[in-house]
């Protein structure tokens, strides 16, 4: 049997991708170790802004475009009863998606209201 050179083994292990997981990493954290109320309030406001500024307009645009496309398909397929009924079925899916979007906005509002105790302040345990 051949004897393996220890230095070659070390070099191969050092360069393998799996050893990257074993390398020490720096962790940057505050010295207090806790998150303050201001940070939580800022995060809550950021979530509210993201929901109001992104989810509602994007969802509204998608619903509008979907309804317009379905209406055009219904107009084009006005002579074909089977394809027209498929378009009506697609309209039901758009309605279900709209209800899902509305429910998600309501649920996120409830969760944010509970997390901030309805007044913007963080609920504390003590």
Which tens digits make up the pLDDT trace of 54-103? 877 888 898 999 999 999 998 998 898 888 888 888 989 999 988 998 88
Parent domain of 102: 38-117
Residue 29 lies in a domain: no
Give the rounded percent of residues in the chain with a pLDDT score beyond 90: 11
Number of domains, the chain: 1
Let me know if residue 27 belongs to a domain.
no
Whether residue 124 has pLDDT greater than 70 = no
* Contacts of residue 51, Cβ cutoff 8 Å, sequence gap at least 6: 105, 108, 109
End-to-end Cα separation, the chain, in angstroms: 69
- Residue scoring higher pLDDT (47 or 71): 71
| Rounded CA separation 23/21 (Å) | 6
The separation between CA 90 and the C-alpha centre of its own chain, rounded to angstroms, equals: 25
Considering the domain boundaries, does residue 14 fall inside one?
Answer: no
pLDDT band at 51 (very low <50, low <70, confident <90, very high): confident
């Amino acid at each position: 049997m051949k004897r393996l050179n220890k230095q070659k083994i070390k070099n191969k292990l050092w360069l393998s991708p799996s050893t990257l997981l074993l390398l020490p990493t720096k962790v940057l954290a505050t010295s207090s170790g806790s998150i303050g109320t201001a940070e939580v309030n800022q995060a809550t406001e950021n979530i509210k802004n993201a929901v109001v500024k992104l989810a509602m307009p994007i969802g509204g645009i998608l619903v509008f475009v979907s309804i317009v496309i379905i209406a055009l398909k219904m107009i084009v397929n006005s002579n074909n009863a089977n394809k027209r009924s498929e378009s009506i079925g697609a309209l039901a899916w758009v309605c279900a998606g709209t209800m899902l979007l509305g429910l998600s906005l309501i649920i996120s509002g409830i969760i944010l209201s509970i997390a901030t105790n309805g007044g913007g302040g963080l609920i504390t345990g003590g």
